[in-house]
Amino acid sequence: MLYIITPCSRPQNLSIIQHTIPPQSRWIICHSISDTININSATVLQCLDTGFVGIKARNYVLDNYPFKDDDLILFHDDDNIIHPNLYKTIGPYLEYDFSIMCWGQVNKDESIRLAPSFAPKIYEIDTACYLVRWKYNKLVRHIENTYIHDGLYAEQCAQNGPILTINHYISYYNYLR
């Protein structure tokens, strides 16, 4: 199963994001906001503190949700939408054996921001540019209080098993900003 995990500090964006979540996936929202979040199509978890850029919320979900070995995890920021071609592009590859699957990223105007990564590195990959398989990465967590946590996480996941790179640009950068 593909899980899309969204740490939430901008609940006003959730209704927009909701319409872009592929129906073949499960959406998990993690927040620390006192307001109730009601998104019928999502599992909503509440943690004490989402942390700097949602890092604690990401780790909270990894520590508390009962993922299975073949589950896939895609972290998705709450200032972004899922690219409309994401699932139809990655779908044929989801049964392949990999630790991390990577692809390229565009800006809202469709200009290229990041090329597909064949060897994930900080400053060369964004959280929207990859997903990971749980069985290889059960022990990997985001390092707190650093903006480059997504690159460090991707680097570590890439060391745990095969890398599969899809030569497509199927993610946006901060689309809702």
pLDDT at residue 117 in the model: 96
Q: Average pLDDT for residues 18-23, to the nearest whole number? A: 97
Q: Is the CA virtual torsion 56, 80, 89, 3 positive or negative? A: positive
* Residue 57 · residue 50 · CB < 8 Å: yes
Q: How confident is the model at residue 32 (pLDDT cuts 50, 70, 90)?
A: confident
* Among candidate residues 21, 25, 161, 57, the one with its CA nearest the CA of residue 101: 161
| pTM recorded for the entire structure | 0.95
Whether the pLDDT of residue 45 is over 80: the answer is yes
For the chain, percent of residues with pLDDT exceeding 90: 85
Residues 126-146 pLDDT 10s: 999 999 999 999 999 999 878
Q: How confident is the model at residue 151 (pLDDT cuts 50, 70, 90)?
A: very high
Q: Which residues contact 88 (CB under 8 A, 6 or more apart)?
A: none
In a domain, 177, yes or no: no
pLDDT at residue 35 in the model: 65
Q: Which domain holds residue 62?
A: 2-172
* Residue 74 · residue 163 · CB < 8 Å: no
pLDDT at residue 36 in the model: 72
Q: How confident is the model at residue 165 (pLDDT cuts 50, 70, 90)?
A: very high
Tell me how far apart the alpha carbons of residues 91 and 170 are, in angstroms, rounded to a whole number: 12
- Domain count for the chain, please give it: 1
Whether the pLDDT of residue 177 is over 70: the answer is yes
Give the CA-trace dihedral at 140, 175, 167, 152, to 10 degrees.
-20
Residues 53-66 pLDDT 10s: 889 999 999 999 99
Residues 64-120 pLDDT 10s: 999 999 999 999 999 999 999 999 999 999 999 999 999 999 999 999 999 999 999
Residue 76 is encoded by which pair of tokens?
């998705």
> What CA–CA distances, in Å, run from 1 to 18, 24, 95, 112, 176?
18, 8, 10, 29, 26
In a domain, 165, yes or no: yes
* Among candidate residues 15, 9, 12, 13, the one with its CA nearest the CA of residue 30: 9
Enter the DSSP assignment of 87: H
pLDDT at residue 113 in the model: 98
Identify the CATH number of the domain in which residue 73 sits.
Answer: 3.90.550.10
Residue 67 is encoded by which pair of tokens?
């993922």
In a domain, 136, yes or no: yes
In a domain, 49, yes or no: yes
pLDDT at residue 34 in the model: 61
Q: How confident is the model at residue 37 (pLDDT cuts 50, 70, 90)?
A: confident
* Cα first-last separation, the chain: 29
